[in-house]
């Protein structure tokens, strides 16, 4: 636990599996009407660790004669490393759960949650023989069970709805809930104009770029969200869901925007170089990363597919279907 800004404490939950589940930051804004931002993991170990540090913080405030009153927890977005712990935190600490309507629609039931990740694969399920359909659905069920166990996911039945782009009051100060889709369609940031403090969730991190991939991410929305944050009147510090605080917020936002624009141009240039014969997504990735960079090859599939979709939508390239891999050709 660390006080990373006056009255704001960062509690970091340890990772469960390296690369699959990175450490998540939960934030406690103390005071007479404070709040917890994000819910983290829902495993027994993660919840015990967070509650222990929270109680220690509460005790230290009371020993000093300071007011410590928190009755709310607000979610940044509906990915499992952020919402899985909400039920546990709510019950153990007596906190109301605050969600946007879009978040609630995604995580109020297992059916709603898993459906989000099925949309891009519905065609493969609906076509083919009966055996294939059964096998695909079985694999989905096994994957669902694994990830629900891994993250300690429980779905939400009791919560209060807050609206995008509205103000909530924390210790009598207005904080703006800003809709920042891109990494996830229901993503929000929480911003205090007076202090220049911004909770960015997964959208802005100090030294790494956020994950982007189908079916819930969008490159264009992400860049637009970054530009929206860059236009905020005051930015002193960005508090991320993973990693340490961003102390050069405007410079970092500009870096992220440029990085995405450069990556888009790189993909477009590779397609142009391929000429009329075109090139597959698989071969685009091979040209970007060497055989030794296997992890980068694997992790790039999501954002490359989103970039190709964006280029098609912008009428810069065409998709040519084939019996093997689809081919992309410059216009």
Measured distance between the N- and C-terminal CA atoms of the chain, rounded to whole angstroms: 53
Contact residues for 273 (Cβ-Cβ < 8 A; gap 6+): none
Q: Kindly tell me if the per-residue pLDDT of 189 is higher than 60.
A: yes
Closest listed residue to residue 266, CA positions, set 252, 279, 254, 250: 279
pLDDT tens-digit readout, 69-80: 999 999 999 999
Residue with tokens 């065409």: 318
Report residue 111 as tokens. Answer: 């059916």
Residue 54, domain member (yes or no): yes
Do β-strands 24-29 and 197-201 pair in parallel, antiparallel, or remain unpaired?
Answer: unpaired
Report residue 233 as tokens. Answer: 């009147």
Assess whether 163 and 83 both reside in one domain.
Answer: yes
Residue 255, domain member (yes or no): no
Residue with tokens 């609906």: 126
Backbone angles phi, psi at 87, to 5 degrees: -60, -45
Which residues does residue 72 pair with via DSSP β-bridges, in sequence order?
A: 96
Q: Which domain holds residue 134?
A: 110-151
Reported pTM: 0.90
Assess whether 87 and 213 both reside in one domain.
Answer: yes
Q: What is the mean pLDDT of the chain?
A: 90
CA distance 266 to 280: 15
Average confidence (pLDDT) over 168-194: 97
pLDDT tens-digit readout, 3-52: 999 999 999 987 555 455 678 999 999 999 999 999 999 999 999 999 99
Determine which helix (DSSP H) or strand (DSSP E) holds 138, and give its type and residue range: helix 130-151
Check residue 297 and give its pLDDT. 85
Between 24-28, 202-206, 322-326, the lowest mean confidence (pLDDT) is in 322-326
CATH (domain of 283): 1.10.10.10
CA distance 204 to 43: 25
Residue 254, domain member (yes or no): no
Average confidence (pLDDT) over 197-221: 93
């Amino acid at each position: 636990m660390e006080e990373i800004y006056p009255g704001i404490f960062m509690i970091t939950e340890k990772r469960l599996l390296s690369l699959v589940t990175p450490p998540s930051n939960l934030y406690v804004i103390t005071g007479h009407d404070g709040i917890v931002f994000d819910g983290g993991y829902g495993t027994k170990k993660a919840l015990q660790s967070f509650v222990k540090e929270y109680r220690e913080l509460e005790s230290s405030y009371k020993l000093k004669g300071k007011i410590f009153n928190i009755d709310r927890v607000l979610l940044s977005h509906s990915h499992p490393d952020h919402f899985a712990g909400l039920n546990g935190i709510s019950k153990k600490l007596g906190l109301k759960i605050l969600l946007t309507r879009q978040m609630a629609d995604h995580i109020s039931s297992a059916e709603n949650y898993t459906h989000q990740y099925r949309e891009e694969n519905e065609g493969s399920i609906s076509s083919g023989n009966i055996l294939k359909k059964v096998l695909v659905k079985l694999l989905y069920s096994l994957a669902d069970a694994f990830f629900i166990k891994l993250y300690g996911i429980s779905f939400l039945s009791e919560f209060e709805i807050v609206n995008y782009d509205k103000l909530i009051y924390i210790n009598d100060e207005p904080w703006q809930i800003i809709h920042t889709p891109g990494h996830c369609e229901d993503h929000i940031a929480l911003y205090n104009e007076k202090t220049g403090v911004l909770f960015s969730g997964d959208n802005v991190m100090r030294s790494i770029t956020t994950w982007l991939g189908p079916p819930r991410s969008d490159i264009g929305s992400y860049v637009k969200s970054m530009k929206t944050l860059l236009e905020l009147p005051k930015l002193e510090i960005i508090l991320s869901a993973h990693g340490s605080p961003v102390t050069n917020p405007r410079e970092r936002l500009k870096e992220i925007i440029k990085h995405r624009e450069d990556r888009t141009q790189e993909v477009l240039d590779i397609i142009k170089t391929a000429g009329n014969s075109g090139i597959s997504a698989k071969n685009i990735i091979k040209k970007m990363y060497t055989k030794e960079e296997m992890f980068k090859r694997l992790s790039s599939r999501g954002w490359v597919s989103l970039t190709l979709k964006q280029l098609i939508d912008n009428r810069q390239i065409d998709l040519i279907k084939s019996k093997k891999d689809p081919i992309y050709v410059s216009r």
